[in-house]
Structure 1
Amino acid sequence: MAGPPKKRQKREQKQEGEMPQKKFYRQRAHANPFSDHDLTYPACPAAMNWSTHYPAFVATTATPASIPEADDRAARTEDANEYGHPTLTQPISIADIGCGYGGLLFALAPLHPSTLLLGLEIRTAVTSFVQQKTLALRTQHATTGLYQNASCIRANTMKFLPNFLPRSTLKKIFLCFPDPHFKARKHKARIVSPTLISEYAFVLKPGGKVYTITDVEDLHDWMLGHFSQHESFERVGEEEVEADECVAVMKEETEEGRKVQRNGGVKYVAVWRRVEDPAWP
């Protein structure tokens, strides 16, 4: 006699446009970034096919209104890069590293409908949840076109961030409630380190920002110390932080942020601006 359906079966039974249920996508909170996770990643950013993630933002050779109706099909032909992948009308501008179940991603997407947002998550089931929720939201908001600008990929950003994102293209990076890795021997796995900060500087435009938030004071101090020592970043003043709508969203819309709020915890926030590189002598 067959037993009750497993989680994978229940995920697959979901109807088109139906929201995924988080209970079928639960996965342990911790993942070792140094383990072999059988990840797929491009050799370089140009080798990544983003058209399947942002189909509404695929570039075309011409607009249908500018040519006769008979040539409409030709007008919709997608431009391709050197790897044969369709190009996008604009680069990805906002990245949520370790996006979890996508709370921040889905809150920011309608606030910035013309900006491409990308969530990066290492856990398989959690990534699948965000991808399925994205599709459901797109279906439910088909008339308005909302959430076409949001997507999520499974990736280990500690190893492969420059493989996905070109230099100086991002405007914002979010590091929301990262794993604190409390034990000293685990600190090397923290998402903030001198090497990783250099990678964030590489993909950020000058003037771009890194947003950090945690409920662990020790981790907050760790991030403050490392960012303050890096020459590519300067800390954003409190007045500007308080006026930034993204900070308010970051505090309230993530799963961890809501949990901290329920438990009466403290949220430690810091924002860092990418400075211009000095001129070559």
Structure 2
Amino acid sequence: MTSTSACPAPSTAGAPAGGRTGKRKEYRIVRKGDVKLPKKKFYRQRAHANPFSDHNLEYPHSPDQMDWSTHFPAFFPPRNESETTAEHSSTQLQKQVEIADIGCGFGGLIVSLGPKLPDTLMLGMEIRQQVTEYVEERIIALRRQYEEGESENGHNYQNISVIRGNAMKFLPNMFHKGQLRKMFFCFPDPHFKARKHKARIISPGLASEYAYIVKPGGIIYTITDVEDLHNWMARHLEDHPLFDRMTPEELEGDVCVETMMGDTEEGKKVTRNNGNKFVACFRRREDPEWSD
């Protein structure tokens, strides 16, 4: 597993929660009728992280070793001490994570999409430690608001979680072949300088990894306010033999597109600044037949 704990238990890696401000621990205190949501100002961090750095992260050797019960306790039984990895893995195959938000930031997409797709498990992935901790605390608070009867929409948020990880390195260690139904890349780091383009989250090599973990018929969603990055992502996915670009007509009425456009933190920021949003979505083709 990764070195950062999964929801609902917040991370204990590095400095203790609230170590820098002395305030963050206030949002772990739960009183009936007063469940607080975390505040971003207590989780400040640089806007971007170097994806080629080690970041002291650990990953499972294979998806079978992922313990999803720590992320989605309402859907997976906890692993018994006497239970082998193979036995526990077989119980987890009854339900799988089907949506991944790569570089989820402060979690706006999964928090908004969770109630709209209540029977679908979705995972946010974020490389920055402080930001990951914020999303963990946010999900904890939302779940407790439901328990206290304070949830605004009556949703329990048990179908969403977050993990600290580097999606450019070890996605196949976490997800089985064809496991995901949807992947999101919302307002990724544009890496404007040409020498930094190798760090962009969409590339020919990475597109092949995404084709491996997305099932045929699944969709990759991309959105950015940087036209050059939009063209870059679209070109590399269009050139890949296992993806077809979807038409605006095919995307009409797609709740995921609507959420991606309007409910992410970056999307709201672009709207406030009267900026442009460039969207491109790609459907995973069926695997080609191999001739003898």
After TM superposition, the score normalised by the length of structure 2 is 0.85
Q: Does residue 1:248 correspond to 2:258, yes or no?
A: yes
Give, in whole Å, the separation in 1 of the partners of 2:168 and 2:82: 32
Shift of 1:215: 0.3
The match for 2:100 is 95
Select the residue among 161, 164, 177 that pairs with 1:167: 177
Counterpart residue identity of residue 220, structure 2 = V
Select the residue among 100, 120, 130 that pairs with 1:115: 120
Select the residue among 136, 143, 149 that pairs with 1:138: 143
Shift of 1:41: 1.1
Runs of 4+ in 1 over 4 A off after TM superposition: 76-81, 83-86
Shift of 1:87: 2.4
Counterpart residue identity of residue 188, structure 1 = K
Contact 1:78 1:87 in 2 (8 A): no
Q: Which has the larger radius of gyration?
A: 1
Give, in whole Å, the separation in 1 of the partners of 2:179 and 2:238: 22
Q: Does residue 1:150 correspond to 2:157, yes or no?
A: no
Q: Does residue 1:10 correspond to 2:23, yes or no?
A: yes
Pair 157,231 (structure 1): closer, same or farther in 2 beyond 3 Å: same
Q: Secondary structure at the match of 1:247?
A: helix
Shift of 1:6: 5.0
Give, in whole Å, the separation in 1 of the partners of 2:111 and 2:176: 24
Contact 1:81 1:87 in 2 (8 A): no
Q: Does residue 1:180 correspond to 2:190, yes or no?
A: yes
Contact 2:184 2:222 in 1 (8 A): yes
Give, in whole Å, the separation in 2 of the partners of 1:111 and 1:46: 28
Number of matched residues?
Answer: 262
Give, in whole Å, the separation in 1 of the partners of 2:254 and 2:72: 26
Shift of 1:19: 0.9
Q: Secondary structure at the match of 2:118?
A: coil
Contact 1:177 1:213 in 2 (8 A): yes
Contact 2:124 2:161 in 1 (8 A): yes
Shift of 1:146: 1.9
Give, in whole Å, the separation in 1 of the partners of 2:235 and 2:45: 31
Q: Deviations over 1:186-220 (max 9, x none)?
A: 00000000111111111111000000000000000
Q: Does residue 1:259 correspond to 2:269, yes or no?
A: yes
Structure 2: give runs of 5+ residues left out of the alignment. 1-17
Select the residue among 54, 63, 84 that pairs with 2:72: 54
The match for 2:86 is 82
Give, in whole Å, the separation in 2 of the partners of 1:78 and 1:126: 35
Give, in whole Å, the separation in 2 of the partners of 1:188 and 1:222: 12
Contact 2:69 2:77 in 1 (8 A): no
Shift of 1:47: 0.8
Contact 1:173 1:211 in 2 (8 A): yes
Q: Does residue 1:270 correspond to 2:290, yes or no?
A: no
Structure 1: give runs of 5+ residues left out of the alignment. 61-75
Contact 2:40 2:134 in 1 (8 A): yes
Select the residue among 38, 53, 62 that pairs with 1:20: 38
Moved more, 237-246 or 96-105: 237-246
CA RMSD, Structure 1 to Structure 2 (Å): 2.1
Contact 1:92 1:115 in 2 (8 A): yes
Q: Deviations over 1:67-111 (max 9, x none)?
A: xxxxxxxxx999864175662641100000000000001000001
